[in-house]
Structure 1
Amino acid sequence: MIYNNITTIKDFVILGFPGLHPTYYGPVSALLFFVYLAILVGNIFILVFVGVERRLHKPSYLIFSHLAMNDLLFGTVTLPKVISRYWWDDKITSFSACFTQMYFVHSLGAINSLLLLIMALDRFIAICLPLKYPILITNNTISIACGLSWIGTFVRMMAVVLHALTLPYCNSNIILQCYCDHISITSLGCGGNVKYVQAVALGLAMFTLLLPLSFIFFSYMSIFVVVLRMTNMENRYKTLSTCTPQLFVSCLYYLPRCFVYLAHNLGFSFSLDLRIALILLYSLLPCALNPVIYCFKTKDIKQILMKKLKNAKVGTKQISK
């Protein structure tokens, strides 16, 4: 078959869950709306709380703020469209809007991976090289590292999008996903370059995922070795408690992704609806749960919150008297 280098598609249709019966459109849209609400409230709270509390103006909490901003943006980029798709049957998205969404979806995912790398580096130096921590890890160095992660990824992902735009799109315009991503869009491309464009994007994605994951694994293994060598049980517990929030956040991001990739490569096949549900789960669940982890697993934030709650209760009792 001969393909002309002409794109005939002007709009895409976001199909969402192909097997979902219209009866469940309302409950699904309501569930996604509450997930989005949890993402908004939780991450805005973290941004404001860390920004207002001067005691939290430290490198670790600066990383938390960047992660909260990333989660907030990711939820805002992905959820409103799929909610409107099931709430108002608004499933049409323009060609340019779909590519824009794809750009931000993959950019924010890659930035999240780099921020987790910076978080692991922060804990690695704090525990394995404590004397060098005040010199190497400062608010300025963390701000520069996080800033470079944002800027560098946005520039790099622009090349991925432009590469995908070289394909002519003249087949179906149905996106078998709840939002526009690279695989869903390029699968609709025509010509012999589709596999090449997808392979290049997959290689970059694996590099972005596996390189940070390798260092994160190495850093936490090194931390556990240092902790096991400690003779004082109290110091061991305190050291581990400083790592648990970061470890929880990293596991939420990487473990479901690794499970899906390994299952696919080992020959385990999922139905299309289940695959889409798993992708939504590992994409959005961390965005909603990360603020809870920060609040209940981070000692400083938990102490400040408890102190404020106690002061509020005392103030209420005094007013009532």
Structure 2
Amino acid sequence: MPEENHSTVTEFVLTGFPGLHPQYQGLTSAVLFLVYLLTMIGNATILFLFATDRSLHKPMYYIILNLSVCDVLFSTTTLPKIISKYWFQSGTISFTACFVQMYFIHYLALVNSFILFLMALDRYLAICHPLRYSLVFKNSTVHILSITAWIVAKAIPLMMVIRAYPLPYCASNVINHCYCDHIGITSLACTDRAAYSIPAFVLAMIVLLGHLAFIVFSYSCIIIAVLKIANVQGRLKTLSTCSGQLIIISLYYFPRCFVYLASNIGITFSTDLRIVIIMLYSLVPPMINPLIYCLRTKDMREKSLWKRFNRTIVPKTQVSAISD
């Protein structure tokens, strides 16, 4: 069918998990709602601590702040719609809204990748070049790099939407996914999608693998630097500052690269398994990021979170002692 033909699709239908038995839909929606709630509470805690404690106004914590904002926006873009599908049987999404969701999903994913790149850069400079760290990696430097990331990341998703939106969608309007993504939408077009999907895939992989290549390089240098530390306790202490980031990076990059490659080189597996993998790497990191950084980051754990906990508990204890 020629591309000039107008689309006959006015809305899309999100299937969520296609193979999910109806008796488990209530449980699934409850789990998704819990994930969303924990994500909001955890990241709101990060934002609150940062806003009320000036001791956290350091380069690393500004990066964590950007990550929290990105996680909140991504979860809000994806989860409410799929929760409403199972709660209110509202799985339809308008044609335009689907493309808007697609844009923000890919945009925030790229911003997230930039932020993880900045985290790796922060650890690389702090461990491998400690004397230059305070001179090179200032708050102003983080602000500039963060703003640049939020602006530059707009280009690729916008190009993907501009190229995909005019395609003729005249057949099925069912998207086998929990949200609108580029592959899910363009696979429904009544035309050869290779001309549209391949350039988008190549650009996405260049960005993702470019960031991943630097992250691998930086942590390789960090490991070499750590091995040169004579004190075993010093090695463990230095590595502990990177462990949380390594967990998040592994959850973010490896499943995502696997799914992207599998979708474009012909590796096939069940739709439900694919969706479960995508939802895990999309939703688990935003939920556990606050836990990792609150518990494993010394300033946030001891100077901020614990201090506020003591302020809440101690007065109550004092009042109780006076009354006794």
Q: Tell me if both proteins adopt one fold, taking TM over 0.5 as the criterion.
A: yes
Residue pairs, 1:212-251, within 5 angstroms:
212-251=211-250
Using the alignment, how far apart are the partners of 1:261 and 1:196 within structure 2? 17
Call closer, same or farther: CA 1:261–1:152 in 2, change over 3 Å. closer
The whole-number CA distance in structure 2 between the counterparts of 1:187 and 1:84 is 24
Aligned to 2:275: 276
Alpha-carbon offset, residue 257 of structure 1 = 2.3
Residue 53 of structure 2: aligned partner = 53
Structure 2 Cα separation of the partners of residues 26 and 234 of structure 1: 49
Whether the aligned pair in 1 keeps the contact of 2:82 and 2:178 (CA below 8 Å) is yes
How far did residue 48 of structure 1 move?
A: 1.4
Following the alignment from structure 2 to structure 1, what is the Cα–Cα distance between the partners of residues 63 and 7? 42
Counterpart position of 1:64: 64
Alpha-carbon distance in 2 for matches of 1:20, 1:108: 28
The answer to whether the 8 Å contact 1:169/1:188 transfers is yes
Question: How many angstroms does 1:125 deviate by?
Answer: 0.8
Alpha-carbon contact 1:4-1:168 (below 8 Å) kept: yes
Cα deviations by residue, 1:254-285 (Å, 9 ceiling, x for unpaired): 23224445666897642111111111011100
Q: CA offset at residue 307 of structure 1?
A: 3.3
Whether the 8 Å contact between 2:3 and 2:167 is mirrored in structure 1 is no
State the partner residue of 1:256: 255
**Following TM superposition, by how much is the alpha carbon of 1:73 offset from its aligned partner in structure 2, in angstroms?**
0.4
Aligned pairs (5 A) from 1:104-253 = 104-192=104-192, 194-253=193-252
Please report how far the alpha carbon of residue 47 of structure 1 lies from its aligned counterpart in structure 2 after TM superposition. Answer: 1.2
The one-letter amino acid paired with 1:72 is V
Q: How does 1:24-63 map to 2 (within 5 A)?
A: 24-63=24-63
Judge which range, 108-117 or 158-167, deviates more. Answer: 158-167
Unaligned runs of 5+ in 1: none
Give, in angstroms, the shift of residue 314 of structure 1. Answer: 2.6
Report how many aligned residue pairs link the two structures: 320
User: Could you report, residue by residue, the CA deviation over 1:58-93 in whole angstroms, capped at 9, with x for unpaired residues?
Assistant: 000000000000000000000000000010000111
Distance in 1 (alpha carbons) for counterparts of 2:37 and 2:287: 9
Q: Where does residue 83 of structure 1 map in the other structure?
A: 83
Per the TM alignment, residue 2 of structure 1 is displaced from its structure 2 partner at its CA by 5.6
Cα displacement (A) at 1:296: 1.1
User: Structure 1 length as normaliser, TM-score?
Assistant: 0.95
Aligned equivalents of 1:291, 1:274: Cα separation in 2: 27
| Structure 1 residues 159-200: Cα deviation after superposition (integer angstroms, max 9, x where no partner) | 2210112312112111110000000000011223x1110101
Who is 1:18 aligned against?
Answer: 18
CA distance in structure 2 between the aligned counterparts of 1:254 and 1:73, rounded to whole angstroms: 19
Q: CA deviation at 1:43?
A: 0.8
Aligned to 2:287: 288
Q: Distance between the aligned counterparts of 1:265 and 1:191, measured in 2?
A: 17
Give the Cα–Cα distance (whole angstroms) in 1 for the partners of residues 227 and 244 of structure 2.
19
Q: The residue matched to 2:153 in structure 1 has which SS?
A: helix
Return the letter of the residue paired with 2:225. Answer: V
CA distance in 1, matches of 2:258, 2:51: 36
Instruction: State percent identity of aligned pairs.
Output: 49
- TM value normalised by structure 2: 0.94
Any idea what SS the aligned residue of 1:20 has? coil
Q: SS in structure 2 opposite 1:44? A: helix
Aligned CA-pair RMSD: 1.8
Give the distance between the partners of 1:98 and 1:48, measured in 2 at CA.
32
Give per-residue Cα distances to partners, 1:127-182, cap 9 Å, x unaligned: 11111111110111101101111111123321221011231211211111000000
Quote the Cα distance in structure 2 between the aligned partners of 1:2 and 1:68: 44
- One-letter code aligned to 2:282: S
- In 1, the alpha carbon distance for the partners of 2:95 and 2:139 equals 41
User: 1:6–1:43: structure 2 CA closer, same or farther, 3 Å change rule?
Assistant: same
Could you tell me how far 1:237 is from its partner in structure 2? Answer: 2.6
Q: CA deviation at 1:218?
A: 0.5
Report the AA paired with residue 74 of structure 1: F
Conserved? CA contact 1:248–1:293, under 8 Å: no
Alpha carbons of structure 1 residues 196 and 3: separation in structure 2 relative to 1, 3 Å: closer
Are the equivalent residues in 2 in contact too, given 1:103–1:158 (CA < 8 A)? yes
